[in-house]
Amino acid sequence: MNDTITTKQLSMLRAELERMLARLAKSMKVTEETLRPATLDQMSVGRLSRIDTLQNQGRTRNLQEREHRKLGAVTAALARLERCEYGLCTGYGETIAFERLLVFPESPTCQSCGPSI
């Protein structure tokens, strides 16, 4: 475990990861409901309305993909916490700055090794 992160800081970061997980679960439920196939009556709905509906579904699919990636990152961060590996860069094992973890608690890498999540 990274010696520079205090127990209090670690508890704070764990709580934030758990909040993120809960928010993602709610958001993903709404996204799933939004992606249910829309029934478009070709005769009663205009062409622009159909195009708008298709574009909205495309944006919702993109959102769903981002949510799944974020879920994977948060879940992996919680797993690293359980293995006492949280706060160590998965690239070279260097310490991840606490300030970075405050902004991106799910980050597996330090700023030098990888982009922000």
Tell me the per-residue pLDDT of 7-25, one tens digit each, with 9 for 90 and over: 999 999 999 999 999 999 9
Asked whether 78 and 21 are in contact (CB, 8 A), the reply is yes
Helix (H, G, I), strand (E, B) or coil at 32: helix
Look at the domain 7-103 and name its fold.
Four Helix Bundle (Hemerythrin (Met), subunit A) (1.20.120)
pLDDT of residue 32: 81
Q: Are 35 and 53 in contact (CB under 8 A)?
A: no
Q: What is the mean pLDDT of the chain?
A: 85
pTM of the model: 0.74
- Cβ 97 vs Cβ 111: under 8 Å: yes
How far, in Å, CA of 92 to CA of 76, rounded? 17
Residue 104 CA to residue 90 CA, distance in Å, equals 15
Q: Would you list the domain boundaries of the chain?
A: 7-103
Give dist(CA 35, CA 64) in Å, integer. 9
Angle 45-31-23 from CA coordinates, rounded to 5°: 150
